[in-house]
Structure 1
Amino acid sequence: MILEAGYFVIWLVVLSWAADRFVFGASVLARNIGVSPMIIGLTIVAMGSSAPEIMVSATASFNGVTDTAVGNALGSNITNIALVLGITALLKPLSIASSTLKKEMPLLLAVSLLAVYFLSDFELVRFEGITLMVLFFSVIGGLTWMSLNMEKGDPLQPETESEIPAGVATSKAVFWLIVGMILLPLSAYFMVGSAETIARYFGLSELVIGLTIIAIGTSLPELAASIAGVLKGEDDLALGNIIGSNIFNILAVLAMPWHHCTYGAIDVNAATRDSYVMLGLTALLLVFSFNFRGSRRINRVEGFCLIACFVGYQYLLFR
């Protein structure tokens, strides 16, 4: 079992690295052909942060373990808000100045409500999967429009543009894009296999393994990006990465098995417990971000509250 755990960690590292290379290649290629850095930041980079979750959920769906795919989508959102933002706010309070983020947060709440509704009947059907995918592409279009019509002086713009590589050859971008496209599904396949072996050994359900070990593992890139962002004073970018990732986790990750006639029944706990935890934390994020004092910041006390929620949720899962 120790060996299997080692394999899981190795493939997790490869998955994260492959996602980074994929985003690097796609971002550089887009910039070199004339796409606005702001569009790249709000779309390609945001989607790239969810690439590990997308690949893992797709692999789990192909293997017939739908609960792992669902658990990964819900668990990643829970982890991103409660653990990633909690730790980030403890290191440095997050100030929120971007008008773009103020528009994205209600969208995140809306798609979270939709996820709760779709899961409420304890199954996910093909129509719901297709609906999520249609909304996914609609959101991409909406974010593109927002980037083209962003208010002048929005702090998210220079923060995002500074993260897009410049002066890189197109041939190099294509190389890393291909490397990422090959390693992402390959590493996801072996990581899911190791996770299933570990779950069986400890007697964990497919849902719990998706909510915990896989969700936490695939959220590590967001943690690294958020910490790096706040240390550089890019608070809006750090929060924007989380919001964008969570939106795509619901619309793209939860919709991964759309090609099946049905997803089939899902674990009741996903609908009656985990989806509501995700929704509650999303609502709490909005309250903390735009509190009644009007400070528009997530402070250390609120960061501690988020971490306490994460610890309490893990206790609820394993008690």
Structure 2
Amino acid sequence: MSILTVAALAVGFVLLVAGGELLVRGASRLAGTLGISPLVVGLTVVAFATSTPELAVSVDAALSGYPGLAVGNVVGSNIANILLILGLTALIAPLVAKSRIVRVDIPIMVGFSIVLLLVALDGVISLLDGLLLLAGMVAYVVATVVISRRNGADPTDTAEVGSADEGAGAGADTGGEHPVDEGAGVGVGTGGEHSADVGSSHSVLKSSALVALGVLMLVVGARLLVTAASDLAAAWGMSDLVIGLTVVAIGTSLPELATSLVAAYRGERDLAVGNIVGSNMFNIGAVLGITSLITPIEVAAGAIRFDLPIMVAVALALLPIAFTGMAITRWEGLLFSGFYAAYILYVVLQASDHDALEPFSTAMLWFVIPFTALWLIVLATYELGVLRGRRQARRHLVPDQ
């Protein structure tokens, strides 16, 4: 492993993070200027922007002849998004899970994960499989837009995703609730519709320039990262799947991490959950869908036996945790972070064929995972009882009113 490989890895990470930030900032400002609803921005624009590094890396890896890296990147990123990013973010502050996210978006994310596992069972994600995944993603986005327009400016939906501009770091610049007016501030001050249009046009141009620069940085960063990751795989004797599941997956998840941490720090905790859920759906539907349209993606047998089922299990685990109290608490964040550390340790032990792999696997399989599953079932059952009791209490109060 040469110094150039390490430098390429470091520069690739920096470009991915910086490019993702510029893309999020530009896309959010552009959406605000064009008058797109905050709900659509939070669940689509921000989520897609933070998933762009995964798209760039997966496409480049597939074209470069490393399909394991393409699959490992997406699967590893989805696992890291839930266990690592939501875990660390919940340690800062408990994360609010709005009812729409629990009722609609998380179940759809689970559905995407299950479909990916099913289409990968034959060992390849074909052109037809890619069309299916991409069509599902397009249907989700269209349905979100249609429902958003039908409901209008519903306060619940608005609160649900928070201010997309603030979540992406643009709120501080645009002033939050009225990005269009702020973007055209010169025109308002000089008093003419023509001046306002000019200010709006300038805002669109600036936002578009940020988007273009962000995409360029992401493409260059992805190329450097894939090259360096391939060299690391050869130097350490690891497969490209393992490198994709660990180093590259964490690196391409850094935009989601930054967005979620900032959202939690600013008090927009529901945006942190929405960003992760939306990003995971885009990773499967758009990233693997588009990549498989370019070239069929071979899926390693190890990923089918272990990593893809783990991704589905992690997605399923998020549902009862978000359901209990409609929040992800600090102790649940600590649980998620601990499981991610255990997952990474397992991947490394398996890749190196270490003697500690067998006792570690036995402990996880027969003690830790069953105990955690039982605990989640107890929590969900208790929460169902609480909700049922509240509904019965409301029914008894209605005749008195």
| TM-score range for the pair, normalised by the shorter chain length | over 0.9
Q: Which runs of 5 or more structure 1 residues have no equivalent in the other structure?
A: none
Deviation at 1:60, TM superposition (A): 0.4
**1:33-182 superposed matches below 5 A:** 33-148=34-149, 149=151, 151-154=154-157, 155-160=159-164, 162-163=166-167, 165=174, 166=179, 167-168=182-183, 169-182=203-216
Deviation at 1:262, TM superposition (A): 3.2
**SS where residue 120 of structure 1 aligns?**
coil
Give distance in 1, aligned partners of 2:32 and 2:89.
29
Contact 1:42 1:144 (C-alpha < 8 Å) held by counterparts: no
**1:184-263 superposed matches below 5 A:** 184-260=218-294, 262-263=296-297
- TM-score where L is the length of structure 2: 0.74
Give the equivalent residue in structure 2 for 1:296: 326
Percent identity for Structure 1 against Structure 2: 34
Give distance in 2, aligned partners of 1:108 and 1:261.
24
Give distance in 1, aligned partners of 2:229 and 2:59.
15
Give distance in 1, aligned partners of 2:223 and 2:294.
19
Deviation at 1:298, TM superposition (A): 1.3
Deviations 1:95-149 (A, max 9, x none): 2234245310110011111011111222221110111111121121122124332
Deviation at 1:73, TM superposition (A): 0.6
Of structures 1 and 2, the one scoring higher in RCO (CA 8 A, sep 6+) is 1
Moved more, 47-56 or 125-134: 125-134
Give distance in 2, aligned partners of 1:64 and 1:199.
14
**Corresponding pairs, count:** 315
Q: Which runs of 5 or more structure 2 residues have no equivalent in the other structure?
A: 184-202, 350-401
Deviations 1:162-183 (A, max 9, x none): 4454234222112212212322
Deviation at 1:64, TM superposition (A): 1.5
Contact 1:61 1:256 (C-alpha < 8 Å) held by counterparts: no
1:310 paired with 2:343, answer: no
Larger radius of gyration between Structure 1 and Structure 2: 2
Contact 1:69 1:253 (C-alpha < 8 Å) held by counterparts: no
Q: CA RMSD in A?
A: 1.9
Give the equivalent residue in structure 2 for 1:12: 13
Q: Which amino acid aligns with 2:315?
A: T
Give the equivalent residue in structure 1 for 2:379: none
1:23 paired with 2:24, answer: yes
Deviation at 1:94, TM superposition (A): 1.6
